[in-house]
Amino acid sequence: MIATGDKITDRALADVGGKALWTKELDRALLTGDIDCAVHSMKDVETLRPDELVIAAMLERADIHDRLVGAENIDALPESAIVGTASPRRKAQLLRQRPDLDIRLIRGNVQTRLQKIEVGEFQATLLAAAGLDRLEMHDVGTEIPDDIMLPAPAQGAVGIECLRDDTDVRRLLQAVSSQRTYIAVTAERSFLKELTGDCHSPIAASATVHSSEILLRAEILLPDGSENILDQTEFATGEVNAPAELARRMLGKASKDLRAIFGK
């Protein structure tokens, strides 16, 4: 199925409907019984979902990192280099480190974006390592360590959604679900939900599961990168309120302008 998000390639999705552009066709097909389950890139799924649906499984998580295409690292980018991205998070994180960069909107599939780099329309771009690896483009770009650019919540995770009442499908999907991924992504999405973040909001979050403990690292930023709040929390897997508490603590440290992005 071709989502509306795939059809709009000339505008930022945040300006024309946000993450729902990736899910609404699939949601409709699930609710009408045309399909039994829908496969999503979890970073493109809204935190508020229809009550009738449930994320029943998440596959083993892929690489969470971003890759820089066009330069060896961020410091190696030329002065005032034109960098393409459609992500407010990536834009803010780049400007936090390099305020001289000229960040412009780039849309389209991976091949289209790489072509724009090749012809010189942009000097660099950022792409998710998981997407490149799934296209068997393992050698494209340079990985950016997550202590330099923390990834988006749920980056690299694939989720499978079905009707909440469809117990047969839910049971089948459990066979392919990774509990570790499910726990980590749920924590990241809980943090995102508390912030009431949308496609305009520069938010990063990454959870790591060690036995029964979760380490959640997070960052919120002004769109121009001039302010950022980094924080983390460690908690037991059963402490479901901990991600929301981290979000509230970070907002408490933020300026009025940064809090306003999240309607606080």
Return the amino acid letter for 58. Answer: M
Q: Which alpha helices (DSSP H) does 66-208 contain, by range?
A: 88-97, 110-118, 129-134, 167-174, 179-195
Cβ(222)–Cβ(96) below 8 Å = no
What per-residue confidence (pLDDT) applies to 51? 95
* Closest to 230 (Cα-Cα) out of 257, 264, 260, 206: 206
pLDDT band at 35 (very low <50, low <70, confident <90, very high): very high
Mean pLDDT for 69-75 is 96
Residue 177 has pLDDT above 70, yes or no: yes
What per-residue confidence (pLDDT) applies to 201? 86
What per-residue confidence (pLDDT) applies to 38? 96
Residue 264 has pLDDT above 90, yes or no: no
pTM of the full structure: 0.90
* Closest to 132 (Cα-Cα) out of 154, 149, 155: 155
Task: List domains and CATH numbers for the chain.
Answer: 4-62+153-261 (3.30.160.40), 66-144 (3.40.190.10)
What residues are annotated to the active site? 44
Q: pLDDT tens digits for 96-139?
A: 999 999 999 998 889 999 999 999 999 999 999 999 999 999 99
- Per DSSP, 120 falls in state T
Residue 141 has pLDDT above 90, yes or no: yes
